[in-house]
Structure 1
Amino acid sequence: MTQALTPRLSPSSPSAITAFDTPWPSLVSTARTVRLCLREARPLVQVMFVLRFVTGALLTASAAHHRPDAPHLLVGTAAWWAATVSVYVFNGVSDLREDRANRSQRPLASGRLTEVAARRAVVVTALAGLLLSCAAGWRVVEATAVFLALGYAYSAPRIAAKCRSWSASGVTCAAAGTTYLAGVASSGSELTAEAAVFALVLSLGVGLIAAVAKDLGSTRGDALAGRRTLAVVRGDHSARRFCAASGGALTLVLTAGALWVRELPLDVAAAAFAVGALCVAGRCLPPRTQDGTAGDGNIRGPYRSWMATQYAVHLAALAALVLA
């Protein structure tokens, strides 16, 4: 009797297929959205922020002869990564008009990632960053909140700091400095002279070089959006000269700091920074074409050289910590 009342589902039955296969399309769609959001948030930049966080923590702990609290450091790093993704996806949403005018191939501008999905990702990753930071200590929570606020101030309509070079430089410099301070907080140590000099110079580099160099080659979309960046107002050549001069000045500052502190990680970082600054200056002088105009092949050269310099400086400092 029981068998007679129990419906039998063959393997090819639509009900059976629905019961087992329904979650897969949504899982695949979610995974694709996550992957596109991470690409929109610029993986190289995400890794760079993680490096800043970790370097700030380890430089401070090493100079203070204190072993960092590993669980707090790991959780704090994860929190900072999530906050960075939130800030840069939000930046992608706010830059959508300009990116399309500049023919960007990023997921949002190309239409592979929807604006609705990106906005949801901004909220989810921001909350994840704040919740994770709670496990790393209140100072890390405060730093995460400040970082998210700076990211909002940089990109939000009406108050967007990105629309002017001076405000973009100030906000990006503060965001980088907050990252180093959050790393220091997660280490359980107080800020040392070595970490302070390193963080100050590299943060100024973000504000004076990266914030200006990233606008090179984007003047068309920036002008359409009403931005008053250095490249738009004074021209590409002036922006390049500013980046080159900033790299030279910061090299002198970091070298002076290394001579004052006299610690191996800072000495190695100063040497790597000097080489990188020369590379940035070289890429700021683009070759000329036959008609006398600047070639397009080096438009992103200064920014890419600065990114490579940052990686080299941080990795050199961390290697010196291991070998010291």
Structure 2
Amino acid sequence: MHQALSARTVRLCLREARPLVQVMFVLRFVTGALLTASAAHHRPDTAHLLVGAVAWWAVTVSVYVFNGVSDLPEDRANRSRRPLASGQLTESAARWAVAVTAVAGLLLGCAAGWQVAESTAVFLALGYAYSAPSIAAKCRSWSASAVTCAAAGTTYLAGVAASGSALTAEAAVFALVLSLGVGLIAAVAKDLGSTRGDSLAGRRTLAVVRGERGARRFCAVAGGGLALVLTAGAVWVRQLPLEAAAAVFVVGALCVAGRCLPVRGEPDRPRAPYRTWMVTQYAVHLAALGGLVWA
């Protein structure tokens, strides 16, 4: 009975930490490592890479479960179906999971190398700065964007450290644009449809301050601008993985813009821009990795 309850708690914590986001962070880590190693013509240490990826998964779970705990009032006001807000997962069990996964991530980071361990510590600090009540970067769009952008960038740099190579131009351009996408698109788009709970909680997000229409336009313009930057970077670097990533990013940016500016008469889907951006991120990373295999 105790084991079953523990297994259930673990499953609920993983659900609370959003499985698609967990996989995305690990994919960022691995892509940063492989892009760097390939451009430097260096074969990464497989053991270090795998241990580092598991470490990154653990700290991602820690940060996102902590975010769920800190978001409880807003999530309940927004009628979220996630385990904590719906009452399936207790707050005490969630806090226990935050501590365990944070310690596990730091220990595994040390096993992957000191640079990876330092990156995991920075990532945890950024994650808690985003949600912690005393600072709560999530309460303002500019600070939420800055912290999430830095967290994504730290993930790529941790992958670079795990590869054993120095940062290359190809990996730098890719990491910069995709990290900015997290800060300028994901951090804004995720608040669409949540303005009621965010307003009650005193948050000053772009969707609350400028309205959801203004936030949608911002995401659409940001996507277009980043597509241009990544395309310019691909032309400059002239490497197949970056060229493939840029081509997919352009298509994804157009799709995000289409979701941000819905056609009249169609039912509004507040989460559509965020979900489209998530699909775009996955596609861009897989395109870059596919380019590595093809090259």
What TM bracket, shorter-length normalisation? Answer: over 0.9
Correspondence for 1:192: 168
Instruction: Tell me which of 153, 167, 170 is aligned to 2:146.
Output: 170
Correspondence for 1:101: 77
Residue 307, structure 1, aligned to residue 278, structure 2: yes
Sequence identity percentage:
82
What letter corresponds to residue 306 of structure 1 in structure 2?
W
Correspondence for 1:85: 61
Structure 1 segment 164-313 matched on structure 2, within 5 A: 164-289=140-265, 295-296=267-268, 298-313=269-284
CA deviation vs aligned residue, 1:47-71 (integer Å, no higher than 9, x gap): 0000000000000000000001100
How far apart in 2 are the matches of 1:42 and 1:124? 17
Offset, 1:238: 0.3
How far apart in 2 are the matches of 1:264 and 1:175? 26
How far apart in 2 are the matches of 1:54 and 1:190? 15
Offset, 1:323: 1.2
Structure 1 segment 62-81 matched on structure 2, within 5 A: 62-81=38-57
CA deviation vs aligned residue, 1:71-106 (integer Å, no higher than 9, x gap): 000000000000000000000000000000000000
| TM-score normalised by structure 2 residue count | 0.99
Corresponding residue SS for 1:135:
helix
Correspondence for 2:129: 153
Offset, 1:288: 3.2
What letter corresponds to residue 37 of structure 1 in structure 2?
C
Corresponding residue SS for 2:10:
helix
How far apart in 2 are the matches of 1:288 and 1:320? 39
Structure 2: runs of 5+ lacking an equivalent: none
How far apart in 1 are the matches of 2:95 and 2:142? 27
How far apart in 2 are the matches of 1:221 and 1:190? 44
Structure of greater relative contact order (alpha carbons < 8 Å, 6+ residues apart): 2
What letter corresponds to residue 294 of structure 2 in structure 1?
L
Instruction: Tell me which of 282, 288, 294 is aligned to 1:317.
Output: 288
Offset, 1:30: 0.3
RMSD: 0.7
What letter corresponds to residue 63 of structure 2 in structure 1?
V
How far apart in 2 are the matches of 1:164 and 1:287? 29
What letter corresponds to residue 311 of structure 1 in structure 2?
Y
How far apart in 2 are the matches of 1:302 and 1:42? 17
How far apart in 1 are the matches of 2:48 and 2:113? 8
Moved over 3 A (4+): none
| TM-score normalised by structure 1 residue count | 0.90
Correspondence for 1:46: 22
Offset, 1:286: 2.0
How far apart in 1 are the matches of 2:5 and 2:264? 46
What letter corresponds to residue 286 of structure 2 in structure 1?
L
What letter corresponds to residue 312 of structure 1 in structure 2?
A
Offset, 1:287: 3.3
Offset, 1:285: 1.1
How far apart in 2 are the matches of 1:319 and 1:48? 16
Structure 1 segment 126-137 matched on structure 2, within 5 A: 126-137=102-113
CA deviation vs aligned residue, 1:126-182 (integer Å, no higher than 9, x gap): 000000011100000000000000000000002000000000000000000000000
Instruction: Tell me which of 49, 57, 63 is aligned to 2:33.
Output: 57
What letter corresponds to residue 154 of structure 1 in structure 2?
Y
